[in-house]
A and B are shown apart, each in its own frame.
Chain A
Amino acid sequence: MHRSYLFIPGNHPAMLQNADIFGADAIIFDLEDAVSINEKDSARQLIKAFFETLQKPKFSIYVRINGLNSSLGSIDLNMVMNEIVEGIVLPKATVSDIKMLSKLLDTFENARRIKKKTVIIPIIETAKAVFEIGQIAQLPRVSALLLGAEDLTGDMEIERTKQGIEIEYPRAKIAFACKAFEIEAIDTPFTDVTDDEGLEKDALHAKSLGMNAKCAIHPNQIEIINKTFTPTMVAIDEALRIVKADEEAQKVHRGVFSLNGKMVDKPVVDRAKKLLIKAKHFGMVEDIDEK
């Protein structure tokens, strides 16, 4: 369960070595767009050497490799595949690319005796991928879908705006697919790194559609993103009251009851329990019964 995913350019030593102080739940080390074609080899070596120094990092580690439509993607994998890597972020993902990546991961995991299954986060950034979202979300290893709005609007030949009306459909479609198949829905980055108010508004809107995390392209964006995707104390207190009242109602075999003038039934209780699980994960509440 993550709230924030920070992209860090793979060939930038100063950012790599500060990775653990930014406060992101996950970091995506980027070998794709943030690295020029002439520096791919250098970035791979740097990330590989950096990973060898890491011991129990406070964040989850992901690597955005280059696409599998050239040899760059498999060369990236060969260099960075390591027990410490939680997952691979795949650009311009399609169903066939994800299946191919999964086979490559099988090979590397077997050859390197990596015990855990490396997950895949496909970036939904083509019209074709939006069309295939339902299939993509069900594929083995896929742990989340990430919306890539810049490339997607480019593919659609439409203007990318701060208001984001043009990405309403893919945002909602990703949120529904992720919920249906119990994986994470990661929202696209907000590209104006100087506009905190705009970022907060954008993140809140994504959350209201069902996204449960957002990408950052600058460390300064992490605090707002984490705050947005963390349950508020008001919501937690309300959820605790609902769960407690439900426990009392169960004792007298009542499925529906009233709390502060509002009807509470199973869907409301389930929602409160889900919120408390999230709150517990982020250290906002102590032990709760997750049944």
Chain B
Amino acid sequence: MKIGIAGSLESNDCLVTIKESETLSIKVQSIVDAFYHDQIVAFIESVLADVNHDKVDVTVIDKGALNYTIKARLLTALHRMEVSHA
């Protein structure tokens, strides 16, 4: 299975893990879950839609990352998944 990981668990960052899948699945665990869980999931969906990826399993552990960081980590993890041979 192809897999890509990017980011970190440091403050203001997030750790993104993406695996190949038959369907789209997004799991988010955030320090701001109570207020922004749905917005974060919606933002991840929009980034994935922009790059035409709808068959991936995404797990994000968020430590207070802003949208630009989530976007950058997602795109890096996707690229790493594509070039991985695991």
A13 touches B65 (CB 8 A): yes
Q: Say which size band chain B's interface belongs to.
A: 10 to 19
In the complex, what distance in Å separates the CA atom of A81 from the CA atom of B41? 30
Interface residues of B in 20-70 (CB under 8 A from A): 65-69
Given A41-B80, A42-B6, A42-B7; A13-B66 close (CB under 8 Å): yes
Instruction: From A14, A41, A42, A50, give the contact of B68 (CB < 8 A).
Output: A50
Given A14-B10, A14-B13, A17-B12; A41-B76 close (CB under 8 Å): yes
User: Given the complex, which residues of B lie within 8 Å of A17, measured CB to CB?
Assistant: 12, 66, 69
In the complex, what distance in Å separates the CA atom of A196 from the CA atom of B66? 33
Say yes or no for A45: interface residue by CB 8 A criterion. Answer: yes
B12 touches A49 (CB 8 A): no
User: Given the complex, which residues of B lie within 8 Å of A48, measured CB to CB?
Assistant: 72
B10 touches A49 (CB 8 A): no
Say yes or no for A270: interface residue by CB 8 A criterion. Answer: no
Count chain A CB atoms within 10 A of each CB in B68, B73, B76 and give the residue with the most: B68
User: Given the complex, which residues of B lie within 8 Å of A14, measured CB to CB?
Assistant: 10-13
A42 touches B66 (CB 8 A): no
User: Given the complex, which residues of B lie within 8 Å of A46, measured CB to CB?
Assistant: 68-69, 72-73, 76
Given A42-B6, A42-B7; A13-B69 close (CB under 8 Å): yes
User: Given the complex, which residues of A lie within 8 Å of B68, measured CB to CB?
Assistant: 46, 49-50, 52-53
User: Given the complex, which residues of A lie within 8 Å of B72, measured CB to CB?
Assistant: 42, 45-46, 48-50
Q: Please give the number of chain A residues whose Cβ is less than 8 angstroms from any Cβ of chain B in the complex.
A: 12
- Closest A residue to B70 by CB, please name it: A49
In the complex, what distance in Å separates the CA atom of A46 from the CA atom of B69? 6
Q: Mind listing 24 A-B residue pairs with CB under 8 Å? A: A13-B10, A13-B12, A13-B13, A13-B65, A14-B10, A14-B12, A17-B12, A17-B69, A41-B79, A42-B6, A42-B7, A42-B73, A42-B76, A45-B72, A45-B73, A45-B75, A45-B79, A46-B68, A46-B73, A46-B76, A49-B68, A49-B75, A50-B72, A53-B66
Closest 5 A/B residue pairs (Cβ) = A14-B12, A49-B72, A45-B72, A49-B68, A46-B72
Show the binding face of A for B, using Cβ within 8 Å: 13-14, 17, 41-42, 45-46, 48-50, 52-53
Identify 7 new A-B residue pairs, CB closer than 8 A, beyond the known A46-B68, A50-B68.
A13-B10, A42-B7, A42-B73, A42-B76, A45-B73, A53-B66, A53-B67
